[in-house]
Copies of this chain bind each other. A is one copy, B any other.
């Protein structure tokens, strides 16, 4: 599924420009290739059209996308994007993940503990402002520090002036900086969710495949001042007109891509990073499956995390397969060599850009030296939610003492409100699962640093990793939001004098973790950025400006056509029907139709289109994106890409790669005939049929 992986695994993303090919491209709204679309599909989107789509689009800050579908603040996204909230609202007694949720009236809508939604209000160029303080003689690290300071200042000024969330987004690997202003919604309430069995019908085996039969939807409502927010731009639905080869658009927030990585970077991913991530995921999946087997409550608690690991595992398996495929790498190398040859042919270009590839390659070697330690101290530990809260408290209280422009970027003023929304959320924490994940982190730290390393000895203090983790989880009160707020309010002094076990752990790890981060930022990231900017400029020089930047979990618009494809000799129709869901039902998970589906079968029009495929260019983070026809009407909701689309992380093709969506007609039919969600269905504005 196309939810953004939670693993901060994308530190090597090089945000360069790429020439458009076929229906390729995750375009920024201020550089959408309107002429190209007109030329290819005979439709020219207007500014008004684009503005309406942009303002109807919603970013789910936990890693997904969505859209407004009524003037009363109703938002649709995927079940697997909303599942964090659905899981958090569930208890052993009322399991909305298993049984679904529907609030027929407003007073039944249930507030999500930690969701933040953003709507992109404007985009403004900030390149010259961000670069104002940089000097030609600066080295890469100094340049990056200077730019980050300017970004934090600009964001703070903007937030104070407009009251909006303001993010400076680095595009084209620093070739362009844009100021994105967002309206922010933090009172988000659950309206409707189907049973997870039908939202994720086919489960992990069918994830990233097609044909599919998933009702992967959830509805939320944003509130302001305890009233449903009034929304001017929302999407009209069209349930009847879609047909094969129709032009469609996807408006959402793709998380990251690696299309402009140099071969040296791809080889690093292939040989170091991806294998490490695969092992990381496999170990944790096994642990959580064992944990789930302990009982139904454990299974309930671990479900969403298991989904997330399984989902990422599949992505990395297929990415790694692409990276290990000599043909694929040869095609990728051909792209690089084409630019290398052009640069080499011009003495001026060679002088200016020719050294960039090697500089980036050297940075890969540098990173390989401390990759394992860096990764372990950061990613392994942060699989524990309690540790994540602790390290945020430790760092936040320390960083607040510094000027805004000098802080670690996630603690800049303009981000504080969102950070606190998460830090003080009442979302439940599950201590037993925490202990399992923390023990594994301790084991890995011990392996990476060696058992005699002082940090390891301090963490374990003679205990086994399991004992140390259990005691650490037992001795912390951070599961309580009130406790966290108390510590935050007490500031650095409260943190420094705390005897909370998780705070102690975070304080223990923090210095070494910061050292590694600094080393990474200065010796790897800054080098990649500076030289990536050079390569981006080289590419601009060769290809002109009709290119799109790498994905950055900011709003993009993709386009393409509704189209079936052939998979290992099997032609696949562009849509499936509700009949197919019944055909696959075995009564055993992951083909276990909910009782409501079985009970209401005779009411359902089984020929209703249910899921469908199309060619727009998407990736993780696009989950929940509306998919639109050229009138700007919602014809479905994106929830997945097929397996062939996973290699698009490195190189886009539209031969077989497909976006998988729930069809608008299937949504309306099931809401009405299976869920009896009449009030919800009535609230949707459905275009009258032709």
Contact = CB atoms under 8 A, between A and B. Distances in A.
Given A580-B580, A583-B577, A570 B205 contact: yes
B573 A585 contact: yes
A326 to B, nearest CB: 21
A523 interface: no
A564 B202 CA distance: 16
Given A205-B568, A579-B579, A606-B579, A584 B590 contact: no
A268 interface: no
A40 interface: no
A569 interface: yes
Given A577-B583, A582-B579, A606-B579, A203 B569 contact: yes
Interface string A574-602: 00110110111110111100000000000
Interface in A589-640: 589-591, 606
Contacts of A296: none
A267 interface: no
A206 interface: yes
Nearest to A591: B571
A204 interface: yes
Given A203-B569, A205-B569, A568-B205, A583 B590 contact: no
A211 B585 CA distance: 12
A420 interface: no
A205 B567 CA distance: 9
Contacts of A566: 588
Contacts of A286: none
A512 interface: no
Interface in A183-229: 202-206, 211
A583 B591 contact: no
A521 to B, nearest CB: 41
B582 A570 contact: no
Contacts of A589: 571
B579 A591 contact: no
Nearest to A592: B571
Contacts of A243: none
A285 to B, nearest CB: 13
A590 B569 contact: yes
Given A579-B579, A580-B580, A606-B579, A572 B586 contact: yes
A524 B209 CA distance: 49
**Oligomer: number of copies:** 2
B206 A570 contact: yes
A569 B204 contact: yes
Given A579-B583, A583-B576, A606-B579, A588 B569 contact: no
A573 B586 CA distance: 5
Contacts of A583: 211, 576-577, 579-580, 583
A203 B571 CA distance: 11
Task: Label chain A's interface by main secondary structure.
Answer: mixed
Contacts of A205: 568-570
Nearest to A578: B583
Contacts of A585: 573
A8 to B, nearest CB: 29
Nearest to A576: B583
A493 to B, nearest CB: 53
A214 to B, nearest CB: 14
A589 B570 CA distance: 8
Nearest to A564: B586
Contacts of A582: 579
Nearest to A579: B579
A585 B570 CA distance: 11
A311 to B, nearest CB: 14
A239 to B, nearest CB: 20
Contact of A571 (B568, B570, B571, B588): B588
A590 B572 CA distance: 10
A588 B577 CA distance: 18
Nearest to A589: B571
A586 B571 contact: yes
Nearest to A209: B570
Interface string A539-576: 00000000000000000000000001010111111001
B606 A570 contact: no
A205 B566 CA distance: 11
Contacts of A580: 580, 583
Interface in A420-448: none
A298 B203 CA distance: 44
A570 B571 CA distance: 21
A203 B205 CA distance: 23
A206 B580 CA distance: 17
A295 to B, nearest CB: 22
Count chain B CB atoms within 10 A of each CB in A571, A579, A586 and give the residue with the most.
A571
Given A564-B586, A583-B583, A586-B564, A591 B570 contact: yes
A204 B570 CA distance: 9
Nearest to A581: B583
A179 to B, nearest CB: 46
A386 B202 CA distance: 51
A248 B591 CA distance: 26
Interface in A673-689: none
Given A569-B590, A579-B606, 19 more contacts: A205-B568, A205-B570, A206-B570, A211-B583, A571-B589, A571-B590, A571-B591, A572-B586, A573-B584, A573-B585, A573-B586, A573-B591, A576-B583, A579-B579, A579-B582, A579-B583, A580-B583, A583-B583, A606-B606
3 closest A-B pairs by beta carbon, nearest first, are: A205-B569, A571-B588, A571-B586
7 contacts: A202-B570, A203-B569, A204-B569, A564-B586, A579-B579, A579-B583, A580-B583
Interface of A: 202-206, 211, 564, 566, 568-573, 576-577, 579-580, 582-586, 588-591, 606
